[in-house]
Amino acid sequence: MHLYPHHTGSPRRLPRPVRDCMMRRFGLLAEHLETLRCFDYDSTVNGKQVRRFRIYSPLIAQQQNVAIAGLSDLEKHPNMLLFEGYIDREGEAYVADRRIPLHMKRR
Per-residue pLDDT reduced to its tens digit, 2-38: 444 444 578 999 999 999 999 999 999 999 999 999 9
The predicted structure's pLDDT at residue 3: 44
pLDDT of 107 = 58
Euclidean distance between CA atoms 15 and 58, whole angstroms: 17
Report whether 58 contacts 1 (CB < 8 A): no
**Per-residue pLDDT at 92 exceeds 90:** yes
Q: In angstroms, what CA-CA distances link 37 with 18, 19, 66, 72, 82?
A: 11, 11, 14, 15, 10
